[in-house]
Structure 1
């Protein structure tokens, strides 16, 4: 277990290798699961604020579900999450060339909004939980869905924390990431 600034980080964060392989998984993490993407309380007003800028990027079915369910919903056991269409694809999901992508992120890429996408999506396959005043980061790829990403990460020799550098800096800041990278480099030398 690694501890940086009251954040507990599983050893797998530096030991395991991972690089998303969208050609293989087709963006299945936006479809697969028991609920939509987890949202922090800070993200709820952001989704309200950016909705009109994001709306043109969404599917008609996604827009209809948002207008019916809201920009976020509460699911027992999960808290605030993005709504889904028939308990499958996220309402913010769009399909391009057979791959599910994020309509919020597409709007961000085109400069229409200042919000990239929900942090839980950006950090995947890391999952964050809270325990006794600490945040805990665990590496939780989906066994079947992420198999190709694990293979690609190994082939490219990219530790999962490095793959998620931008998301980790977004969540915890540059100093946190630099500390984790220093630990990761030392860890690699030991193995």
Structure 2
């Protein structure tokens, strides 16, 4: 039985600091970058093409305003997406605002009624700066690519892909519980 759904924004909070500091030409220590690379929001996405070193190299290149030579398509996309965040911090803040307000407790009863024998007591939802994937599922964790969050131009809705944010999260948590 699911007792809680935790929202983890730790990586996005750290990245917001990074994007703002680099944009303002403040010094960001290499230690901060190493700490970022070890945050669970990123480590859950690591594989053969996207590693801790991929993240470190991309963020160091951004910090030092160097040309980045990617070793994989995933690295290139990660670098470009981070560059995009720094180019328009106002839009970045529009992306962050709705996820900071999220409370997913309303889904607990509905998910328990659909999945009464869930092997997980706790589900975790991460928003992380990823690369090519729109989302990842690892055990009881749903990792949503922050770069795919799109605030509406017309109203207060927020989307991931073409789905409204809350509907998207519900759909992906159901997929997680079906595995």
TM-score, structure 2 length as denominator? 0.26
TM-score, structure 1 length as denominator? 0.25
Higher relative contact order (CA 8 A, sep 6+): 1
Structure with the higher fraction of residues in helix conformation: 2
